[in-house]
Structure 1
Amino acid sequence: MRVLKFGGTSLSNVKKFFIVKNIIKEKIRNEQISVVLSAPEKITNYLVESIQIAKIKKNLVQLHLIESIINKFLFELKKKLSPKIFEELKKEIEKEIIKLKTALNTVSSLNQCPGYLTPIIISRGEIFSILIMNSILKSENYKVTVIDPVKTLIGIGDNLNATIDIDKSKNKIKELKIPKKNIILMAGFIAGNKEKRLVALGRNGSDYSAAILSVCLEAKYCEIWTDVDGVFTADPKIVQDAKLLKFLTYSEAMELSNLGATVLHPKTISPLSKFNIPCIIKNTLNQNEEGTIIKNFSEESIPSIKGVTSLNNITMFSISGSEKIATYNLTRKIFSKISQKKISPILILQNYSNGNLDICISDNELEKTFEILKNELSIELKNTLINPIKVIKNTAIISIIGNKFQLKKNIYLNIFLGLQKNKVNILAISKNLSQNSISIVIKKSDVIETIQNIHHSLFNKNYKIIEVFLVGIGGVGNTLLNQLKKQQKILQHKNIHIKLCSISNSKKTIFNEKGINLNNWVKEFQKSKSSFNLNNLLEKIKNNKFINPVFIDCTSSEEIAKEYVNILLHHVHIVASNKKANTCCNQLYQNIRLTAKKYDLKFLYETNVGAGLPVIENFQNLLNSGDKLIQFRGILSGSLSFIFGKLEQGISLSKATIMAKELGFTEPHPQDDLSGIDVARKLLILAREVGHNLELSDIEIESLLPKNFNFNLNLNDFFIELKKLDILFFKRIFEAKKENKILRFVGIIEKNGKCKVKIQKIGKSDPLYSIKNGENALAFYTQYYQPNPLVLKGYGAGNNVTAAGVFSDLLRTLSYNLGT
């Protein structure tokens, strides 16, 4: 015997009912099958709402909605069932609709819903499911026995949250003497009390129904079929890389369900555990997946972590101020009264050393619990033996569940690394005495990000993720995308996953929180009708709660650079080839760094000075080691390095500039290179790294372009005007050669912080002498490196090296990522 339970998502339409029928058909080949059904998806919610509407608004509008859903089922079933079976089904459903209508009219006339009537109304969905499935099976000539749970399952306690007397129910079902060839059908969620009235088993109680039926029929397995592949290490809707758990012990499953996992009802596991019946969680729409099996395993003594869960909408009461609160009598008095009022605390934290007692309950029990505490502690409060009761609202409980996992090395370190990432304030922490869970009370607003971070630190220790948000797809940005595509598989073998979540230019954008396919992003981008808006992008990043989001700025936009502080405030790293943020006013420059430091974020800009050369990192390492800059001299423009090298060969300035432009060495408009402003920006960045509080206007610049040069020309006119300077530069090259020297465009930082950008004549002994053809060279004269400087040189221009530098910075954000 095998019991199969199908949830509402597995029964949301006729097509899914037939998928369920096919699963039954497959299973019955090997053994007898019993089937427990929930209500079709959303029906129970509509039924609950129908009671409220009938009480308040005096109408049956929800009943009409339910009728329309059921009529849609009937319309589709008419084509699939024989006329006779369909007519029988239609009559039975009409009877149930009449019963429902009568019940709701009673509610409407009384302005209230009698206690006995509520479970009758809200359980109609399960009855509909049984009627439909019975007709489908009968239409294929299966013999079916429908068990009436009101007559066979003996409910005890609350009308809406009853438990089952297993022994009496088992005897009742044995009396039915069901033929072994028959398929057994039973509605979930309901039972009958001693007065033989229908009672409900609590919301989602169909799982419990299946567990009870499994025990009563002495089934070998109980299968819960739902819309997910099984139990995961976290809610897949919150944690995209949550892992499917193939195996769970009963105690682990119980802990998961009690502390927030929604796949199983909390009451389900207990009877299965008691009678040692394995439970399997499977996906109706992914039947090939093995699912999760829950039973006792011989390996359960091995420490392991199984999941991260959360309970939201929690209120914490904190009682403190006296050692008396820690005494057994006072604590017992509090919980005796709470128990009498049928309030179930979710978490109790008691510290005997300081007399603190914290009680966590669901928000819907807040007022009732507060009244009890005030009354029971009135004497202590009046005599100031304890402090006023502190009520902390809008909290949540994050729980880490496993099997004796507290014996697992570094478990606490990894949990607190996850908490540290978004600087979560811990309100309380509790260790389960059975070593099966740790629960942490935090603010509700921190839940999603905290779950993601703790899960990542526990389950993806060696798996590093970067979520990329790229703005700017010109030469550098486009090249970077090609490099990302090329390296994707190689990095994945190293457990590094770069997920490109958005691509934008100044006009439009594409966004996909699950990752954009790099093989067809161009077509997708061309089709996009979404305009780019930075605030909208940041809102999406905030709402999706990414693990390691990185904003890459491959534009030259000052407007975007001015938003860096805002980006950092959204807990997003920044990698920038854009130099504007580092060369704007000193106040913004400082604010960006202070914000990054405050939130422990990365702001990386290696390509701002030397493109692909590791200039910034090495310079920072020098300064951090205590070295001091005496002088800096450098060729900081790959385009001007190329141009001056061509001037040496006798090529004109205008022709050399066109060649540099065609090779992608220059800025979008070459006048930025020839004016010296690009070199000045790079020099300013280096000077600020040293600590000089300079503005761009403080740098002396000897431009290649004269003061009377028209800087408002388009590209064609610019190159025509530039030809007028060719003769001038032929003369300057000739004069330098007479002194056995060459011309180079050099940036200089003096010890006092004075900065200059100028054309210099350079002799053969100078470390910058041989630099040409697009190379950069940076000579640092420091306390440690003198009289011979530390020289960094290599190609400093071009899309490939610049994109590679951005790529390198991107990977450096992993030093922040948890688990590294």
Structure 2
Amino acid sequence: MKVLKFGGTSVGTANSIKRVQEIIAHEAKEDRVIVVVSAMTQVTNKLLAASELAANGDESYKEITKEIENKHFDAIRELVAIDQQSGVIANIKVLLNQLEDILNGVFLVRELSPKTSDYVVSFGESLSSIILSKSIGAELVDSKSLIRTNTQHGGAAVLHETTYENIKDFFQSNDANVFVAPGFVASTEEGITSTLGRGGSDFSAALYAAGSDAAELQIWTDVSGMYTADPRKVKSAFPVKYASYKEAMELSHFGAKVIYPPTILPVYKKGIPLKIKNTFAPEDQGTLITASADEGMPIKGISSIDKIALASLSGSGMIGIPGISARLFGALSRAKVNVILITQASSEHSISFAISPEDINLAVEAVKEEFVFEIQTGKINSPRVETGLSVIALVGEKMSGQVNVSGKMFNTLGSNGVNMRAIAQGSSERNISAVIEEKDVKKALNVLHENHFEGSNKVLNLFVVGVGNVGGTLVDQIKQQQKVLQKNSNIVVRVTGLANSKKMLLNSEGIDLNGWQDQVESSSVIFHKDELIEQIAELNLRNSVFVDCTANYEIASVYKKALENNINVVTANKIACSSDYELYQELKAICLKNNVKFLYETNVGAGLPVIGTINDLVHSGDRIQKIEATVSGSLNFIFNTYDGNNTFHDVVSQAKSEGYTEPDPRIDLSGVDVKRKILILIREAGIKMEFDDIEVKDILPKACFEVDSVEDFFNLLKNDEPTFQEMVGNAQSEGRKLRVIAKYEDGKATVELQAVDSTHPFYNLQGTDNTVALYTDRYVSQPMVIQGAGAGAGVTAAGVFADIVRIANY
């Protein structure tokens, strides 16, 4: 014997019922089959709505009953042979007439008791079971005559021994091959209709399986098994092939709605395999639940319960006093308050418990009544309740003894700004639960799934500010590499925000990077730096990264706010790291506190690994004694290109047109940019220094920087050409080359234009190359030298991109 249960979506329409017929026919070839069915889609909800309207004296309940009638008559015409339709319609009409009579009575007396409500909602499964049984020629089973319950209407408790005996006797005495039984419905020992609660059709099927000692219970639904997480919230979730009864019970308790929690216990006790299959994709493997199913996965699923309240009882009068917990939960039990989660501090000073928000008043009054004396005398505080919370849970048999599962969970949540209000883990280590704010649930589920399941994609949500030369190149590089990163590294780089100096574009699902420029220009949203950070925080996306491709002071000023909101920051902008040392340290401290990343490798040397190398040296115990660097690609280009055979004016103009300098080249030629870069390197070496501590010796005559406009500056370069000719001629006459060198040694730092000879490491620099020479305790006579292209949109964007990918790999 096999038991097959089909849910509301499986019997929701005539077309879906045809699929059910095919599945039943296939299974019936191998064994006898009991088919348990739910009501057709939305019928139970319509029955509840009609009864509520009738109880309120609203005659529109009749419109709903007419809808229910039409739905079932349409299914009969589609599914039942023409010569049998009139008989089936007559049977359905008898039931519908009974329903109308009951609802009319409710309407007249304006009262809906739990007993009457049970009777009304039982019609849904009764109607669907008649249609299915007649359409496939199966024997109809009256579940009310077999499944017995107590008199607790609305969610009655099953009388298992009586129920199993009735089921066993019925099927032993009946030799039919296929049976159809309505789920959800039962009756008391007096024969009064009762129900098993919402989701009770699963439970009915489990009772039939246990009572008949079935070989297998199959739950047919609209998903291909029990997923690693709710696929509506976690797109990368996938079906679990195998799970144990205990894992399934934990997951179903914590919101895995694919199976009703009480369903598992009857088959667990009998050792009956339970399979979850997809009616609409029957070829999919589904999930097989047995006593000791194992895929080698320490975690089988991540689940959640939304809309919970967290109540806490605390006070010094609880410490060391026996019986406090017994009294607390005894009082809650007597008030019929269901407790979802319990956690207690080892100090015994407080106990917290999660409940449904609907039970808050009941729970608070019950606790106050139980501890009235202690509260009045100040030994125990009045219970405190927090709302707007959810429970998330990691579930898996193999978590027991697995090192760092909880640590990884807490670290992952913390780095994404998810605050845990309470934590609970049973001694079996099968479940780790945490209470978090409801607004954080989707983000929490996704980051936990990314970090605990092999093959899961890690999604980065980027908000790119500054989409000009470097930023625009970065977006194009991302577009080119998105598929490669996902395929080879399971990293999904999703651009969810783009902004230029005037407008911004946001899309939490990701911006289509085809024609992204036009989308930004056509956006009606005005860009404001503070509002952008607020909107990123409100979107609350996992692994959010603020990417700054500007050189703007104002943009750099929002880094602190971003990091405080657990938004990672990647920047090519040197302003923040070269401003006040106090701010530099504060940003670093926020990163440590909130476990977020602030990466700025491209601040010095574009895509060259300069900052990372210094960090590695310092972290490994080395000390930087001296730094020499040519770290301006624009200045290197200018002094490599200018040889006296051309004009200084033309070389600077060329550097500007090719994007090597700022729009105002005076910024580069003043040495300020180099000054910022050497300052950053000095600070990364662990040395405290301020911007004003660095001496910049004039690279050009002072008069060049005293004119008002860029045009005037270029005119002055023409006039000063003899000065530049003399400068380069003197160097060439001594076999030297001009280099703007930043230097740190013995606590002092300078930036100056020097003429270096052929023995100097910087003599052979080409084009825009940057070179950094690091003299350390380990690299004494021969420095560690890092050299390569240090300017240009392509290499700078690539360096920013590399920092973004690093965040995914942390």
Q: Same fold (TM over 0.5)?
A: yes
The residue aligned with 1:271 is 266
* Structure 2 counterpart of 1:159, from 150, 153, 166: 153
Task: Give yes or no for contact 2:547–2:571 (8 Å, CA) kept in 1.
Answer: yes
Task: Give yes or no for contact 1:684–1:695 (8 Å, CA) kept in 2.
Answer: no
1:160-175 equivalences under 5 Å are 160-170=154-164, 172-173=166-167, 174-175=169-170
* Structure 2 counterpart of 1:693, from 671, 690, 695: 690
* 1:390 partner letter: P
1:103-122 equivalences under 5 Å are 103-122=102-121
Task: Give yes or no for contact 1:326–1:355 (8 Å, CA) kept in 2.
Answer: no
- Pair 1:742 & 2:741 matched: no
Task: Give yes or no for contact 1:480–1:803 (8 Å, CA) kept in 2.
Answer: yes
* Structure 1 counterpart of 2:365, from 356, 367, 371: 371
Q: For residues 224 and 671 of structure 1, do their structure 2 counterparts lie closer, same or farther at Cα, with a shift above 3 Å needed?
A: farther
- Pair 1:147 & 2:144 matched: no
The residue aligned with 1:318 is 313
Q: For residues 626 and 709 of structure 1, do their structure 2 counterparts lie closer, same or farther at Cα, with a shift above 3 Å needed?
A: farther
How far apart, in 2, do the equivalents of 1:697 and 1:120 lie? 86
The offset of 1:539, in angstroms, is: 6.8
Q: For residues 551 and 95 of structure 1, do their structure 2 counterparts lie closer, same or farther at Cα, with a shift above 3 Å needed?
A: farther
How far apart, in 2, do the equivalents of 1:290 and 1:332 lie? 45
The offset of 1:270, in angstroms, is: 1.3
SS of residue paired to 1:34: strand
The residue aligned with 2:632 is 637
* Structure 1 counterpart of 2:458, from 459, 462, 465: 465
Q: For residues 224 and 580 of structure 1, do their structure 2 counterparts lie closer, same or farther at Cα, with a shift above 3 Å needed?
A: same
The residue aligned with 1:185 is 180
Q: Which shows bigger deviation, 503-512 or 307-316? A: 503-512
1:740-786 Cα deviation digits (max 9, x unpaired) = 43333344568666654x54444444443332311112345678877
How far apart, in 2, do the equivalents of 1:637 and 1:486 lie? 28
Q: For residues 178 and 71 of structure 1, do their structure 2 counterparts lie closer, same or farther at Cα, with a shift above 3 Å needed?
A: farther
The residue aligned with 1:8 is 8
The residue aligned with 2:789 is 795
Task: Give yes or no for contact 1:510–1:524 (8 Å, CA) kept in 2.
Answer: no
Task: Give yes or no for contact 2:242–2:293 (8 Å, CA) kept in 1.
Answer: no
The offset of 1:343, in angstroms, is: 3.6
SS of residue paired to 1:772: coil
The offset of 1:3, in angstroms, is: 2.2
SS of residue paired to 1:113: coil
Q: For residues 29 and 626 of structure 1, do their structure 2 counterparts lie closer, same or farther at Cα, with a shift above 3 Å needed?
A: closer
Task: Give yes or no for contact 1:325–1:356 (8 Å, CA) kept in 2.
Answer: no
- Pair 1:599 & 2:594 matched: yes
Task: Give yes or no for contact 1:259–1:309 (8 Å, CA) kept in 2.
Answer: yes
The offset of 1:280, in angstroms, is: 0.7
* Structure 2 counterpart of 1:650, from 618, 630, 645: 645
Q: For residues 497 and 540 of structure 1, do their structure 2 counterparts lie closer, same or farther at Cα, with a shift above 3 Å needed?
A: farther
Q: For residues 474 and 289 of structure 1, do their structure 2 counterparts lie closer, same or farther at Cα, with a shift above 3 Å needed?
A: farther
Task: Give yes or no for contact 1:684–1:696 (8 Å, CA) kept in 2.
Answer: no
Q: Which shows bigger deviation, 73-82 or 494-503? A: 73-82
The offset of 1:316, in angstroms, is: 3.0
- Pair 1:768 & 2:766 matched: no
Q: For residues 332 and 75 of structure 1, do their structure 2 counterparts lie closer, same or farther at Cα, with a shift above 3 Å needed?
A: closer
How far apart, in 1, do the equivalents of 2:795 and 2:709 lie? 29
How far apart, in 1, do the equivalents of 2:694 and 2:468 lie? 29
The residue aligned with 1:706 is 704
SS of residue paired to 1:161: coil
1:533-548 equivalences under 5 Å are 546-548=541-543
The residue aligned with 1:521 is 513
How far apart, in 2, do the equivalents of 1:427 and 1:522 lie? 42
1:253-289 Cα deviation digits (max 9, x unpaired) = 2233234332221210111122222111122333332
Q: For residues 260 and 389 of structure 1, do their structure 2 counterparts lie closer, same or farther at Cα, with a shift above 3 Å needed?
A: farther
The residue aligned with 2:562 is 567
Q: For residues 134 and 652 of structure 1, do their structure 2 counterparts lie closer, same or farther at Cα, with a shift above 3 Å needed?
A: farther
Q: Which shows bigger deviation, 642-651 or 556-565? A: 556-565
- Give the unaligned 5+ runs of structure 2: none
How far apart, in 1, do the equivalents of 2:607 and 2:304 lie? 45
Q: Which shows bigger deviation, 237-246 or 224-233? A: 237-246
1:4-33 Cα deviation digits (max 9, x unpaired) = 222233344444333333433443443343
Task: Give yes or no for contact 2:156–2:195 (8 Å, CA) kept in 1.
Answer: yes
Q: For residues 217 and 695 of structure 1, do their structure 2 counterparts lie closer, same or farther at Cα, with a shift above 3 Å needed?
A: farther
How far apart, in 2, do the equivalents of 1:288 and 1:693 lie? 68
How far apart, in 2, do the equivalents of 1:145 and 1:740 lie? 105
How far apart, in 1, do the equivalents of 2:62 and 2:710 lie? 72
How far apart, in 1, do the equivalents of 2:284 and 2:714 lie? 66
Task: Give yes or no for contact 2:206–2:264 (8 Å, CA) kept in 1.
Answer: yes
* 2:514 partner letter: V
The residue aligned with 1:21 is 21
The offset of 1:488, in angstroms, is: 6.3
1:547-586 equivalences under 5 Å are 547-582=542-577
How far apart, in 1, do the equivalents of 2:423 and 2:592 lie? 28
Q: For residues 116 and 153 of structure 1, do their structure 2 counterparts lie closer, same or farther at Cα, with a shift above 3 Å needed?
A: same
1:561-598 Cα deviation digits (max 9, x unpaired) = 33322322331211112334445677765654443343
The residue aligned with 1:130 is 129
The residue aligned with 1:59 is 58
Q: TM-score, normalised by structure 2?
A: 0.83
- Pair 1:236 & 2:231 matched: yes
Q: For residues 558 and 190 of structure 1, do their structure 2 counterparts lie closer, same or farther at Cα, with a shift above 3 Å needed?
A: farther
Root-mean-square deviation over aligned CA pairs: 4.4
* 1:270 partner letter: L
Identity %: 31
1:484-530 Cα deviation digits (max 9, x unpaired) = 577667766875524324362425647464x77xxx83257757865
Q: For residues 691 and 161 of structure 1, do their structure 2 counterparts lie closer, same or farther at Cα, with a shift above 3 Å needed?
A: same
The residue aligned with 1:306 is 300
- Give the unaligned 5+ runs of structure 1: none
Q: For residues 243 and 216 of structure 1, do their structure 2 counterparts lie closer, same or farther at Cα, with a shift above 3 Å needed?
A: same
1:450-485 Cα deviation digits (max 9, x unpaired) = 55555555445x978351415255554455456557
Q: For residues 61 and 530 of structure 1, do their structure 2 counterparts lie closer, same or farther at Cα, with a shift above 3 Å needed?
A: farther
* 1:369 partner letter: A
1:355-754 equivalences under 5 Å are 358-381=352-375, 386-394=379-387, 396-403=390-397, 405-418=399-412, 420-421=414-415, 429-441=423-435, 447-460=441-454, 465=458, 467-471=460-464, 472-477=466-471, 479-480=473-474, 496-502=490-496, 504-506=498-500, 507=503, 509=505, 511=507, 513=509, 521-522=513-514, 546-582=541-577, 592-620=587-615, 633-648=628-643, 650-657=645-652, 660=655, 665-667=660-662, 673-674=668-669, 676=671, 678-683=673-678, 685-686=680-681, 690-694=687-691, 702=699, 706-707=704-705, 711=709, 729-747=724-742
Task: Give yes or no for contact 2:118–2:153 (8 Å, CA) kept in 1.
Answer: yes
Q: Which shows bigger deviation, 414-423 or 720-729? A: 720-729
How far apart, in 2, do the equivalents of 1:682 and 1:323 lie? 59
Task: Give yes or no for contact 2:320–2:348 (8 Å, CA) kept in 1.
Answer: no
How far apart, in 2, do the equivalents of 1:668 and 1:94 lie? 83
The offset of 1:603, in angstroms, is: 0.8
- Pair 1:813 & 2:798 matched: no
* 1:648 partner letter: D
SS of residue paired to 1:269: helix
Task: Give yes or no for contact 1:653–1:729 (8 Å, CA) kept in 2.
Answer: yes
Task: Give yes or no for contact 1:189–1:201 (8 Å, CA) kept in 2.
Answer: yes
Q: Give aligned pairs, total.
A: 798
